[in-house]
Amino acid sequence: MLNRETALRIAKSRKVISQPGKYLVKVTSQPNLFVTDDIATQGPSRYLVNFNAMTALQAQELRAAFKAADAAGETDYQGVLNGANLTGSINFSGEVAPDWIPAKNELVHIIVDKVQSKRRGTTVLGVVSVTAVPVSQASDNGSFSLDELVEEETPEGATLHAQIVE
């Protein structure tokens, strides 16, 4: 069960995308494997990936869904959130899995463009590509040191004291 306050916090954390482009977003759940039996009617097998983003249309629909849930006295807002996030797919065919599948909380690049929606019968914004964000390696060449700040010897005239506790 997802209460209203938590649902609002999640909704507010999502980026709103209102035009085609390349965006840096976070993966919000483990990718879900969807295996198809008939490529001709169901398309290729794919991993469905959810992101912390929504289109402007989804944001508008989310506002209406919150108002409807409030008016109906709903206590579980999971269904309110389900349709209001961008989802992408990583398609593959046959028994060969894709080389890369993003993990939950990973930052990825998505390409958002205008696509034909079968459900709506109109053109909407949708994810057309998901790619890994290249990772740079930090240098560990030993050029940074704090050795000059650390005295390795006990200062002259200092005594060390220890106390035995029983």
pTM over 0.85: no
pLDDT of residue 17: 96
Measured CA distances, 70 to 12, 58, 77, 82, 136 (Å): 17, 18, 9, 16, 46
DSSP letter at 46 equals: E
Q: Give the pLDDT confidence of 109-129 residue by residue, as tens digits.
A: 999 999 988 887 899 999 999
Q: Give the pLDDT confidence of 65-90 residue by residue, as tens digits.
A: 999 999 999 999 999 988 787 888 88
DSSP letter at 130 equals: E
Q: Give the pLDDT confidence of 34-61 residue by residue, as tens digits.
A: 777 776 666 778 888 999 999 999 999 9
pLDDT of residue 160: 54
pLDDT at 161 over 60: no
Which residue do the tokens 């053109």 mark? 123
DSSP letter at 133 equals: P
pLDDT of residue 6: 95
Task: Report the chain's C-alpha Rg in angstroms.
Answer: 26
Q: What is the DSSP string of 72-128?
A: TT-S--HHHHHTSS-EEEEEE-TTPPPS--PPTT-EEEEEEEEEE-TTTSSEEEEEE
pLDDT of residue 117: 84
Q: What is the mean pLDDT of residues 130-143?
A: 80
Residues 6+ apart with CB under 8 A from 18: 55, 56, 125
Q: Which residues pair with 116 in a beta bridge?
A: 123
